Amino acid sequence: MSFKTFNPGDIVEGFVSRDLTANLWSGAVSDLTVAYTSSTQTGSDSGNYHWFIYNGDPSADSTATVQYSIAWGHRTGGGTEKINSDASNGITPSKAVYSQFANLMLNPTDGIFTVDETDQDSMAFISVNRSRYKQQMNPGGWQLTLSASVDGLPLISLIDDSTTTSPTSVNGSTVYNVVSGSITDGVLSPKTTYGVFYPEIGVIALASTKLSESGVASDFLTTANTDGQNIEKIWTAVTGGASFIGRSQEDVSSTNYFVRLFNSEMNYSNNPSFITGSGGYLRYSYMADDPEVYLTTVGLYNDANELLAVAKLSKPLPKNFEREATIRVKLDYVITLFALAGATATHWLSGLTGII
């Protein structure tokens, strides 16, 4: 192993690939046509607040993973029972859910969701798993189909209005309206607004009244301290629609590191196979003046001699006093925001991209 310090001219920074999109769901699936739940989770205390939705039956498929969650909230706590008799009056899972999403999605002075200029006391929330949407869900790249609870009514297809309307901003977050339409045909006319979409936090919030008017779960119950099974009703509409199309989106910054090896450099090795005996003599004496080694790996280290990244050559590269080489290592940096205070961004190595 040999080390060499980069010169300023060996590092080329600043190239950014913007708005790179990929299929949203596990396994590079673009359209999630199933919506499985776990009876263990839905039957636990957490099931009173939200249901995890899997891409397979978790009781039978060990590879099934959570893709998104469904929650339902009510501003004053209706539609769900108090968790225990000691809970304060009105402090129910539905109120906790409504308050939590209001704190996350609304301005500090605004505690009530507004859809189509009307205050909404109850909302359904579909939250995509954080690892699935990367930096954000792709605006204009998702479509959720819901079935009606009444036989004979058509399926309802929902998208955002990013193709026709400029977004608003709330607390620094981009916000679009959720409207009827499809990715292929765009926003339906006349436009019906169902809720709001926050691409950067992967949340689709739908007004219960709008869903009821369209026949989706028309029997939402909001009676105080009563289990309305409202999350299950939304899940039933999702499974009946059997289609949730989505794409993730991210910006990727690239830096090129040029490892320049002159003829007099990197011609020897400290690999044990290169020497013999306790004195560390060359195994083959003729290699003292005419060495021949093969480069296979490039490691990038910081000033503390900590290994940060490794790039593998596609095949061993011969090196001796008569050969020079320049190896280009390309690093793609994907910025990932963490919920923990003080956490730093992560950087991912894309791999060796070329030998010059």
Q: Which pair of structure tokens corresponds to residue 299?
A: 């490691």
Return the CA Rg of the chain. 28
Q: In whole angstroms, give the CA distance from residue 218 to residue 230.
A: 10
Same domain? 64 vs 101: yes
Position 74, amino acid: H
How far apart are alpha carbons 257 and 308 in whole angstroms? 13
Q: Which amino acid is at 50?
A: H
Asked if 260 and 312 sit in the same domain, the reply is yes
The Cβ of residue 93 has, within 10 Å, a number of other Cβ atoms equal to 25
Tell me the CA end-to-end span of the chain in Å, nearest whole number. Answer: 21
Q: What's the number of domains the chain is made of?
A: 2
| Residue 336, Cβ density class (10 Å: 0-12 exposed, 13-18 middle, ≥19 buried) | middle
Q: Are residues 341 and 212 in the same domain?
A: no
Question: What pLDDT sits at residue 316?
Answer: 92
> So what's the pLDDT on residue 293?
86
232: helix, strand or coil = helix
> Residues 180, 203: contact at Cβ < 8 Å?
no
Structural domain ending residue among the three candidates 245, 276, 311:
245
Q: CB under 8 Å to 182, separation ≥6 — which residues? A: 143, 157, 159
Measured CA to CA, the distance from residue 70 to residue 126 in angstroms comes to: 5
Residues 89/225, Cβ–Cβ less than 8 Å: no
Cis bond before residue 318 (omega within 30° of 0): no
Cα–Cα nearest to 351, from 300, 294, 302: 300
Q: What is the pLDDT along the chain (356 residues), one digit of tens a residue?
A: 678 888 888 888 766 777 889 999 999 999 999 999 999 999 999 999 999 999 999 999 999 999 999 999 999 999 999 876 545 555 899 999 999 999 999 999 999 999 999 999 999 999 999 999 989 999 999 999 999 987 778 899 999 999 999 999 998 899 999 999 999 999 999 999 999 999 999 999 999 999 999 988 767 888 888 899 999 999 999 999 999 999 999 988 888 889 999 998 888 777 777 777 777 777 777 777 788 888 989 999 988 889 988 889 989 999 999 999 999 888 876 654 433 333 333 333 333 333 33
Amino acid, single-letter form, for residue 128: V
Whether 169 maps to a domain, the answer reads yes
Domain boundary among 245, 270, 305: 245
pLDDT of residue 15: 67
Judgement on whether residues 140 and 168 belong to the same structural domain of the protein:
yes
64 C-beta neighbours (distance < 10 Å), count:
17
Q: Please, are residues 285 and 278 in contact by the beta-carbon 8 Å criterion?
A: no
58 and 194 in a common domain: yes
Instruction: Name the DSSP class of 273.
Output: G
71 in the same domain as 46: yes
Give pLDDT, residue 8: 85
Distance CA 202, CA 126 (A): 8
pTM for the whole structure: 0.73
Identify the pLDDT of residue 1. 67
Q: Are residues 173 and 293 in the same domain?
A: no
Q: Are 72 and 125 in contact (CB under 8 A)?
A: yes
Closest by Cα among 50, 42, 45, 48 to 68: 50
Structural domain boundaries enclosing 306: 8-17+251-355
Does residue 77 sit in the same domain as residue 153?
yes
Classify residue 90: in a domain, yes or no. yes
One-letter amino acid of 297: T
Residue 56 near residue 64 (C-beta atoms within 8 A): yes
